[in-house]
Amino acid sequence: ERVRDVASALYESGCHEVSLGDTIGVGTPVATRRLIECVAARIPVEHLAGHFHDTYGMAIANVFAALQCGVSVFDASVAGLGGCPYAPGASGNVATEDLAYLLAGLGIETGIDLDALLDCAVWISAQLGRQPASHTTLARRRSRPGV
C-alpha cells in the first residue's frame, strides 16, 4: 500500500510514467501481480512500467506477470549487465535478449533484430571479459558453436 500511495502521489503531481522496480531481484510473479493490481487501482496501467533485476532468475517471469496485468514498458539491459550499488551480489536488469525473445514468442512485434541483438550481447560480454547473463544468448551460443 505504501508503494501505491507514493506512486499515486507521483502520478497526481504530473509524472507520466511510474516505474515499479525490483532493483535487488527478489520479486516473484505472484508478488509482481499483486503490486501492479494494487497500484493500478489508482493509476491507469498504461502509465506503469516494470524494472526487474534477475538475481534469483525471476526477472523474465516477472515481466510476463506484468504483461498479463497490462504493463507494456520495461527496462532491460543487453547481456543482463548491471547490478545494484546498495545490494552486493544483485544482478542486472532482465536481459534485453530474453525480453525480446519472450515478446516475439507472444507475437508482440518490437522491431528488434534478435540475431543482431544477440551478436551485441556476445560482443559486449567479450569486451568486459564476462559471460552474458542472458539465457537466450547462451542458448544461441550453444546452438552456434564459435559464436
Res 86: pLDDT: 81
Q: Is 107 left (phi over 0), alpha (psi -120 to 50) or beta?
A: left
How many helices (H) and strands (E) are present in the chain, helices listed first?
6, 2
In order of 22, 65, 114, 119, the CA distances from 144 in angstroms are 33, 31, 14, 12
Res 135: pLDDT: 95
For residues 12 and 26, what is the distance between their CA atoms, to the nearest angstrom? 29
Q: How many domains does the chain have?
A: 1
Residues of the chain under the 50 pLDDT cut: none
Res 87: pLDDT: 82
To the question of pTM greater than 0.85 for the whole model, the response is: yes
Catalytic residue among 15, 38, 69, 84: 84
Question: Structural domain of residue 40, as residue ranges?
Answer: 2-143
CB of 8 closer than 8 Å to CB of 25: no
Is there a catalytic annotation at residue 15? no
Measured CA angle at 5 (ends 84, 70), to 5 deg? 75
Res 83: pLDDT: 83
CB of 50 closer than 8 Å to CB of 75: yes
CB of 138 closer than 8 Å to CB of 132: yes
Which CATH number goes with the domain that contains 6? Answer: 3.20.20.70
